[in-house]
Amino acid sequence: MRVDVLTIFPEIFSGFLNTSIIKRAREQGFLTVNLVDIRDYAGNKHRNVDDYPFGGGPGMVMQAEPIFLAVEALLPGENAVRPPIILLSPQGEVFNQDLAAELAGEERLVLICGHYEGVDERVRQFLANREISIGDYVLTGGELPAMVVIDAVTRLLPGVLGDPAGAREDSFAMGLLEYPQYTRPRSFRGMEVPEVLLSGNHERIRQWRRRQALERTWRRRPDLLARVDLSAEDRHLLEEIIRSARSEDRKTVL
Ligand code: SAM
């Protein structure tokens, strides 16, 4: 996958792109990130790309022209099929695992990082074809959101993770939160690893993990349960979980 990132702070990306799985994905050719400095398209010698808002108000607004020019240089030819041109914005659709999986199916993404008070509305209306928010909070710029999107999408590209089962079993990938994980030592300061994980019995381990995933999701994110397709075994496990939680509650009241 190729990702073009339009930003006024390309240097922010260097640690991210040169570390761990993202670095390896780039080295192995699964991911190419092309950082485009929007200031290279400024029409003035000071390389300014922002200006005061029409109508007044606080802060500065990123101008439309340098962003349009940068995208046009990347994607010459108006009629060509356009990849997703994504404006990172707190007003966009909220990013989640389904959206990451959808974007992982694309060959190319263009990400536009805003700054200051945001970008001229004409970028949103006439250039971007998608707008993504990484959550209901406001950051100083679109660079961290762009890294979040690149990270979540890259680990879903076939071949990037050594063991693809990892991504399949992650929280949200199956519609549930993931079961708890442990590693050595089996006893740490008197805290023990659940016996079942040491049993070597794969079927018992699978059932235990499924039950844990269901219970965690039921307790922490019941909204997710409403959307997931549960098997007959899941429904049975969930009934057991709810029954035993209710009986615990009764004991507490007594
Ligand atoms: N005034 C804008 C508003 O209220 O919608 C917020 C501008 S914000 C300070 C500057 C830039 O950071 C935005 O243009 C966007 O690119 C990025 N940004 C901030 N929060 C974001 C979020 N939650 N998701 C995606 N991008 C975000």
Domain with CATH 1.10.1270.20 in the chain: 187-253
Domain with CATH 3.40.1280.10 in the chain: 2-164
Catalytic residue ranges: 90, 117, 155, 170
Residue 131 Cα to ligand 1 middle (Å):
11
CATH second-level architecture of 2-164? 3-Layer(aba) Sandwich (3.40)
Q: Among 138, 149, 150, which is best to mutate for testing ligand 1, by the most ligand atoms less than 8 A from CB?
A: 138
Q: Which residues line ligand 1 (CB under 6 A)?
A: 88-91, 113-115, 117-119, 133-135, 137-142, 145
Using DSSP's 3-state secondary structure scheme, residue 120 falls into coil
Cβ atoms within 10 Å, residue 158: 9
Residue 117 Cα to ligand 1 middle (Å):
8
Residue 64 Cα to ligand 1 middle (Å):
16
Residue 140 Cα to ligand 1 middle (Å):
7
| Atom of ligand 1 minimally distant from the CA of 134 | 24
Using DSSP's 3-state secondary structure scheme, residue 16 falls into helix
pLDDT attached to residue 150: 98
Torsion of Cα atoms, 75 then 79 then 85 then 90, to 10°: 130
CA triplet 53, 95, 71: central angle to 5 degrees? 50
d(CA 162, CA 227): 29
pLDDT attached to residue 249: 84
CATH second-level architecture of 187-253? Orthogonal Bundle (1.10)
Q: Identify the residue whose tokens are 């990702």.
A: 3
pLDDT attached to residue 202: 98
Among 129, 114, 109, residue whose Cα is nearest residue 33: 109
Tens place of pLDDT for every residue, the chain, 254 residues? 999 999 999 999 999 999 999 999 999 999 999 999 999 999 999 999 999 999 999 999 999 999 999 999 999 986 678 999 999 999 999 999 999 999 999 999 999 999 999 999 999 999 999 999 999 999 999 999 999 999 999 999 999 998 878 788 888 888 999 999 999 999 999 999 999 999 999 999 999 999 999 999 999 999 999 999 999 999 999 999 999 999 988 887 76
Which parts of 55-164 are beta strand (E)?
Answer: 61-62, 85-94, 108-112, 130-133
Q: Among 89, 133, 148, which is best to mutate for testing ligand 1, by the most ligand atoms less than 8 A from CB?
A: 89
Q: Which amino acid is at 105?
A: G
**Main-chain dihedrals φ then ψ at residue 238, nearest 5 degrees:** -65, -40
pLDDT attached to residue 252: 78
d(CA 168, CA 6): 31
Q: Whose CA is closest to atom 19 on ligand 1?
A: 139
| Atom of ligand 1 minimally distant from the CA of 59 | 1
Q: Among 116, 139, 151, which is best to mutate for testing ligand 1, by the most ligand atoms less than 8 A from CB?
A: 139
d(CA 252, CA 113): 52
